Structure 1
């Protein structure tokens, strides 16, 4: 392959990636909003997710849904980011509500109190359950959730059932 052909191939790959990323960019922001409280941290996480998506793009199988592939990478990056930064940021820094657009904006419509209660519940979840919860709120099929999270459909169904029970038992939802 000549040098010119190699640059052309990279350019078209970059263009295709850019188009797909633009079309599905809300996924990046939803995941970043779900795993980082401060505006700077959300921006850093969104950038880290985008960079990892670009690095992994050559291995993307175009016969599969881009959004499923994107969610899988974005959630893995977010969970790794959370583990690296530790849980102390989630438990010691207050949520800056003026800067926080909310992870659930655009997913749920309803009274602000219910949305805030769901966001607070979501923040208390372990990283994997947080990812599961986000995907359930987006009404993703169990099969797609299983593929994104690397779980069996049975495991997804069990975890969702347990999450629903936790919500039912959570006092912030029941009065």
Structure 2
């Protein structure tokens, strides 16, 4: 692949890497799993990047690849994330350390979110990222009306989990 393509990819990944960290936070339970999933998502993004046509924003495309990768790996292993080596490409990405010292309320919310199904996790994640229902629907691959209905059900479910 061309160095220009690699440069553009690394620039976009650095600019949007918090998206990947947030997906990792929802689908993993410890630092090692987080790092492994981050690496696997990065590999999948790189593999898919040459096919990225720019029909949507890079961040929207990145959400879709990251969520699909996390869901696929989560379903395969349920306990630990297995990664693959991708030695043919070495990226020099300046990583922003992910802050594990979250406020207690955020920890409680993440614990509640982990009890949701895979698709519910993806929907609430995008909602918490301030994506509108059209963007959520486009990223997940459902209708906007369906996204609204599912989100209302998820909110109700989370309220029951948080306030039993």
**Is the 8 Å Cα contact of residues 117 and 173 (structure 1) preserved in structure 2?**
no
Q: Does 1:158 align with 2:157?
A: no
Alignment of 1:64-75 (within 5 A): 64-75=56-67
Structure 2 segments unaligned to the other structure (5+ residues): 81-97
**C-alpha deviation, 1:146, in angstroms:** 0.7
Divergent runs of 4+, >3 A: none
Aligned counterparts of 2:159 and 2:72: Cα–Cα separation in 1 = 29
Decide which of 42, 46, 55 is 1:50's aligned counterpart. 42
Residue in 1 that maps onto 2:128: 137
Aligned to 1:173: 163
| Whole-Å separation in 2 of the counterparts to 1:16 and 1:118 | 35
- Partner of 1:158, secondary structure, is helix
Residues 67 and 122 in structure 2, CA contact (< 8 A), matched pair in contact too: yes
Unpaired segments ≥5 residues, structure 1: 1-8, 90-98, 106-111
Deviations along 1:108-136, one digit per CA (max 9) or x if unpaired, are: xxxx3422221111010111100111111
TM-score between the two structures when normalised by the length of structure 1:
0.78
Confirm or deny: 8 A CA contact 1:17 1:57 kept in the other structure.
yes
- Structure exhibiting the larger radius of gyration computed from Cα positions: 1
TM-score normalised by the chain length of structure 2: 0.83
Aligned length: 147
CA RMSD of aligned residues (A): 1.9
Instruction: Name 2:25's counterpart in structure 1.
Output: 33
Q: Could you tell me how far apart the structure 1 residues matched to 2:158 and 2:27 are?
A: 19
